[in-house]
Amino acid sequence: MPLSKARRLLSVGAAAAAYLPLAAYADQPKPWEIWHQAPATSIMETIESFHTELMVICVFIVVLVLGLLAWCILRFNERANPTPSRTTHNTMIEVIWTALPVMVLVGIAIPSFKLLYDEDVIPKADLTVKATGHQWYWSYEYPDNGGFGFDSTMIEDKDLKPGQPRLLTADNHVVLPVGTTIRVITTASDVIHSWAVPAFGVKIDSVPGRLNETWINIDRPGTYYGQCSELCGVNHGFMPIEIEAVTKERYAQWVEEAKKKFASSMPATDSRFAAR
Residues 166 and 79 in one domain: no
> Which residue, of 92, 120, 148, is where some domain finishes?
120
Residues 111 and 72 in one domain: yes
- With cut-offs at 50, 70 and 90, classify the pLDDT of residue 24: very low
- pLDDT, one tens digit per residue, over 76-97 is 888 888 888 787 888 898 999 8
Domain count within the chain: 2
- Residue 32 maps to a domain: no
* Cross-strand pairs, 224: 243
Q: What's the mean pLDDT in 241-269?
A: 85
* Cross-strand pairs, 185: 130, 213
- Residue 106 maps to a domain: yes
Residues 164 and 246 in one domain: yes
> Which residue, of 97, 120, 143, is where some domain finishes?
120
- pLDDT, one tens digit per residue, over 178-233 is 999 999 999 999 999 999 999 999 999 999 999 999 999 999 999 999 999 999 99
Residues 138 and 257 in one domain: yes
Range of the domain at 65: 42-120
Residues 173 and 196 in one domain: yes
- Residue 276 maps to a domain: no
Phi/psi for 225 (5° steps) reads: -125, 145
pLDDT at 79: 87
Average pLDDT, the chain: 86
Residues 133 and 219 in one domain: yes
- Residue 19 maps to a domain: no
Q: What's the mean pLDDT in 49-66?
A: 95
- Residue 236 maps to a domain: yes
Q: What's the mean pLDDT in 36-65?
A: 94
Quickly count: other Cβ atoms within 10 Å of residue 258's Cβ. 20
Cα–Cα distance measured from residue 161 to residue 167, given in angstroms and rounded to the nearest whole number: 13
Residues 141 and 70 in one domain: no
- Residue 90 maps to a domain: yes
- Residue 59 maps to a domain: yes
pLDDT over threshold 50, residue 276: no
Q: Provide the CATH number for the domain around residue 139.
A: 2.60.40.420
Of the chain, the percentage scoring pLDDT greater than 90 comes to: 70
Residues 138 and 264 in one domain: yes
- With cut-offs at 50, 70 and 90, classify the pLDDT of residue 256: very high
Residues 55 and 78 in one domain: yes
pLDDT at 15: 38
Residues 102 and 208 in one domain: no
Q: Provide the CATH number for the domain around residue 109.
A: 1.10.287.90
- With cut-offs at 50, 70 and 90, classify the pLDDT of residue 26: very low
Buried b (16+ CB within 10 A) or exposed e, 156-181: eeeeeeeeeeeebbbebbbbbbbeee
- Residue 52 maps to a domain: yes
What is the rounded radius of gyration, in angstroms, for the C-alpha atoms of the chain? 26
- pLDDT, one tens digit per residue, over 58-69 is 999 999 999 999
Residues 149 and 131 in one domain: yes
Residues 86 and 48 in one domain: yes
Model pTM score: 0.78
- The better pLDDT of the pair 2, 264 is held by 264
Cα–Cα distance measured from residue 198 to residue 224, given in angstroms and rounded to the nearest whole number: 9
